[in-house]
Structure 1
């Protein structure tokens, strides 16, 4: 699981070069050729039960979803946990050591661990026994102007049980978690996802939203403070497959 699989499009090798430069401290990175939403055959995806005929994902959202699905299948086939990142991820210099320590601190039957924070998204947590939840909101502040400070900082991260999560900048998934995600998400289809207990319902416009239909049944965690953030400078960052 120490290997980080970085999703990167064939037409975006400059982004991979930047990823490797910013994260040169990572010891084990493997590029994963992302599915380019512009060239995917939707009819074939329907035949393969990857998507439904009436799915209206944008090309970018479709390519992103197919890329993650392929990596989940790889985790199941290998029967190994896998760590996945998007190519705009920025890693703490302490990521590898902290990841090993934190994974060792939870029960071996974990399903999903989100290492990252998307500064425009929330995380919904299990705050108290009996179903009491809490919503965590991030504010970007000046972090994007101080990337080196973020990367060098010695924090005291912990894994907190999560009920719902958005954003897939970097996460680890176990074979069992990957199978559960495949069983729920495929075929990827139009639906309203209910964030039960939080008074929220979202239209499925991306795979990270759809995953929340099954997330409460998984042993899912989120790392706080996060060990990975995304490059959210508008002039430099675009979502994969846009």
Structure 2
């Protein structure tokens, strides 16, 4: 499987940080992010990548289009791939453990998240179709321990995913990539109800929010413990 990581060409320090943090992972391929600050938004709308009334920031549009472009690569090639954002930190045995987990999934799996933002919630099926579970995390402890994490061997289990926030690292199959392209385009501003947040209605501001609308109808998974963490520095995020 290819391993793509997204990082803007105008932020070489983030690219260097990602490569240094994940030097134990072989075959990482830099996917230059689409820089939202220079996009022709009207042209993007005309190409039906963006609804006319979408209120995403330029950064969120560029980030979303970058993921979509990689999904297109996966769908066209017919080969599943890992996709990481440049604030991802991978555990020491990521390659072996991710391979083992994917081999345990049904052949028609679509997507599996290796991690998520630690300042939010993760809802998944602890027992398939029986016990829905909501997990919360401590972002402070994740940030404090993230450099230790990359030297850890992690043993994880996959669970059916309902929703979460953040796409710091995931694997996607050709069928999953095709489904996500069809489901998430054109990108749009829409309100989404989250049971894990007490039924709160949140307005989608990025493509990972739109993905939440479709996980439950796909063969979508998460894994616990995570194989990928992010320090989630929002001030420097691709979505800014």
The TM-score with structure 2 as length reference comes to 0.93
* Superimposed CA distance per residue, residues 80-120 of structure 1 (whole angstroms, 9 cap, x where no aligned partner): 21211001111111100101111111111111100013111
- Partner in structure 1 of residue 115 of structure 2: 116
Describe how 1:21-32 pairs up with structure 2 within 5 A: 21-32=20-31
Label 1:180 to 1:131 Cα distance change in 2 as closer, same or farther (>3 A): farther
> What CA distance in whole angstroms lies between the structure 1 residues aligned with 2:26 and 2:129?
41
Q: Is the 8 A contact 2:111 2:173 kept in 1?
A: yes
Is the 1:60–1:241 Cα contact (8 Å) retained in structure 2? yes
Q: Which sits farther off after the overlay, 195-204 or 41-50?
A: 195-204
Larger displacement relative to structure 2 (224-233 or 103-112): 224-233
Q: 3-state SS of the aligned residue for 2:36?
A: coil
Check whether the contact 2:93–2:154 (CA below 8 A) recurs between aligned residues. Answer: no
Q: Which moved more, 1:193-202 or 1:146-155?
A: 193-202
Matches within 5 A, 1:92-111: 92-111=91-110
Match of 2:152 in 1: 153
Matched, 1:216 2:216: yes
Shift of 1:133: 1.9
- Deviation for aligned residue 1:196: 6.2
Question: Any stretches of 5+ residues in structure 2 without a counterpart?
Answer: none
Query: In the superposition, relative to structure 1, how do residues 232 and 129 fare at CA in structure 2: closer, same or farther (>3 Å)?
Result: closer
Which residue in the other structure is 1:229 paired with? 229
Cα displacement (A) at 1:131? 5.6
Secondary structure in structure 1 of the residue aligned to 2:107: coil
Cα distance in 2 between the residues matched to 1:165 and 1:79: 27
Alpha-carbon distance between aligned partners in 1 of 2:220 and 2:74, rounded to the nearest angstrom: 16
Residue of structure 1 equivalent to 2:178? 179
Aligned to 2:15: 16
Deviations 1:174-233 (A, max 9, x none): 111111111111111121123468634321111101111111101111111111111246
Q: Secondary structure at the match of 2:11?
A: helix
Over 3 Å counting, the alpha-carbon distance change for 1:117 and 1:60 in structure 2 is: same
TM alignment of 1:185-204, pairs within 5 A = 185-195=184-194, 199-204=199-204
Aligned residues: 239
* 3-state SS of paired residue (2:35): coil
1:140 paired residue number? 139
SS of the residue 1:56 aligns to: coil
Q: Which residue of 2 aligns with 1:164?
A: 163
Q: Structure 2 CA distance, aligned partners of 1:68 and 1:233?
A: 19
